[in-house]
Structure 1
Amino acid sequence: MAASTYENELFEKLKVIRKGYRAPRQVLQSLYARMMLEYSVYEFTKARFERLIDKSLDAKDQEQFYQLSKQYSEWINRYQTGCTISEQGYEMECNFEDKKKRVGS
């Protein structure tokens, strides 16, 4: 049953380029795996930036803080709208930040 749950969620996100065709399970699994990889890399990089910025604040290194903050801002802006992954004519949008968080911030 768990497999069908994530498949249903993926189908909701899929943009079908080939009209009228349901994506094969292999394509769904590939998209899901790539989505999880993208998300993992995003979360790792975000945590790394935050850790380095906190370290520069603790060290009271203003120059490093500004440099890291600028890099972090540029990096986060690239992911603000998420990314699109594709497989065999199917595309899926990946959003990394919770929309509720962004609106409430």
Structure 2
Amino acid sequence: MAGSTYENELFEKLKMIRQGYRAPRQVLQSLYARMMLEYSVYEFTKARFERLIDKALDDKDEDAFHTLTSQYNDWVVKYQSGNTISEHGYELECNFEAVKPPISS
């Protein structure tokens, strides 16, 4: 898998603190695994908020809607600029392109 696509993409996104050094395969695999975990948690949390907000709307529960949208907006701000994952002096910037703008309550 020396020429795998994910590895090439990681190399393009990789910001190396130690200039001139290529990251070992184990570091790349660790960064990739952590990136996938972070993205999975992001997708799960987003779906959970959407489901709970939709339920509050269906139930016409104004208090729950305002509470959930406030929590959602705080959560969205955390992910708007992406997330940096680091491993052994190497950093990978993860962006969540599907981040929705905050909800107006």
TM-score, with length taken from structure 1: 0.90
Unpaired stretches in structure 2, ≥5 consecutive residues: none
Mapped to 2, the partners of 1:17 and 1:29 lie a distance apart of 18
* Residue equivalent to 2:44: 44
Partner of 2:59: 59
Aligned residues: 101
Distance in 1 separating the partners of 2:71 and 2:64:
10
Match of 2:82 in 1: 82
Q: Deviations over 1:6-64 (max 9, x none)?
A: 11000000001111100011000000000000000000000000000000000000110
**Amino acid paired to 2:90:** Y
State the Cα RMSD in Å. 1.9
In structure 2, C-alpha distance between the alignment counterparts of 1:2 and 1:52, rounded to whole Å: 43
Aligned to 1:34: 34
TM-score (norm 2): 0.90
Compared CA separation, residues 60 and 98, structure 1 to 2 (3 A): closer
Aligned residue number for residue 13 of structure 1: 13
Residue 4 of structure 1: aligned partner:
4
* Superposed displacement of residue 4, structure 1: 1.8
Alpha-carbon shift at residue 3 of structure 1 (Å): 5.7
Do the aligned partners of residues 31 and 52 (structure 1) sit closer, same or farther apart at CA in structure 2, a change above 3 Å counting? same
Distance 1:65 1:98, change over 3 A: closer
Superposed structure 1 runs of 4+ greater than 2 Å apart: none
What is the letter of the counterpart of residue 54 of structure 1? D
Can you give the 5+ residue segments of structure 1 that lack an aligned partner in the other structure?
A: none
- Aligned counterparts of 1:63 and 1:98: Cα–Cα separation in 2: 27
Structure 1 vs Structure 2: percent identity of aligned residues?
76
Greater helix share, 1 or 2? Answer: 1
**Residue 78 of structure 1: SS of its match in structure 2?**
helix
1:25 corresponds in structure 2 to 25
